């Protein structure tokens, strides 16, 4: 069962930052928390983190299949290196390589080759 991120973030904001819930942009973003990528982007926009906190949180990140495939398809479409993707999204090169190996067939099917 998938967590209800909309409810979780709504409750968090209501408790700690009720003023942010008045912003129509935040309300709209709250409704669109469907993928891991959406949650990470929302979290980054709402809660600014220190460098140290970002580094510690990076070790605990997980990605759903949909987000992994989206990143790999983006990489392939734009012919980006694994090193570039690693730096841009702060994901280890080893992790990206594992994803490529795991989803090789699905990436090929999605690109229509």
Domain range spanning residue 46? 5-58
Residues 70 and 53 in one domain: no
Looking at residue 113, what is its pLDDT?
Answer: 54
Measured CA to CA, the distance from residue 17 to residue 15 in angstroms comes to 6
Which of 42, 58, 74 corresponds to the end of one domain? 58
Residues 69 and 107 in one domain: yes
How confident is the model over 33-55, as pLDDT tens digits? 888 788 878 888 887 765 655 55
Q: How many domains does one find in the chain?
A: 2
Q: Are 42 and 9 in contact (CB under 8 A)?
A: yes
How confident is the model over 43-89, as pLDDT tens digits? 888 877 656 555 555 566 778 888 899 899 999 999 999 999 998 88
Helices (H), the chain: 5-16, 24-31, 36-46, 51-58, 65-77, 82-89, 93-102, 104-111
Residues 9 and 32 in one domain: yes
Which of 58, 75, 101 corresponds to the end of one domain? 58
Residues 52 and 72 in one domain: no
Residues 39 and 74 in one domain: no
Degrees to nearest 5, angle at CA 43 with 37 and 46: 140
With a threshold of 0.75, does the pTM exceed it? no
Within 10 angstroms of residue 9's Cβ, the number of other Cβ atoms is 21
């Amino acid at each position: 069962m998938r967590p209800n991120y909309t409810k979780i973030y709504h409750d968090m904001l209501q408790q700690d930052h009720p003023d942010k819930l008045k912003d129509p942009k935040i309300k709209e973003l709250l409704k669109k928390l469907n993928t891991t990528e959406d949650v990470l982007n929302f979290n980054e926009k709402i809660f600014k983190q220190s460098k140290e906190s970002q580094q510690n949180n990076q070790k605990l990140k997980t990605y759903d299949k949909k987000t992994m495939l989206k990143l790999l398809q983006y990489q392939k479409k734009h012919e980006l290196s694994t090193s570039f993707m690693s730096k841009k999204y702060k994901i280890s090169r080893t992790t990206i390589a594992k994803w490529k190996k795991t989803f090789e067939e699905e990436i090929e099917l999605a690109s229509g080759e």
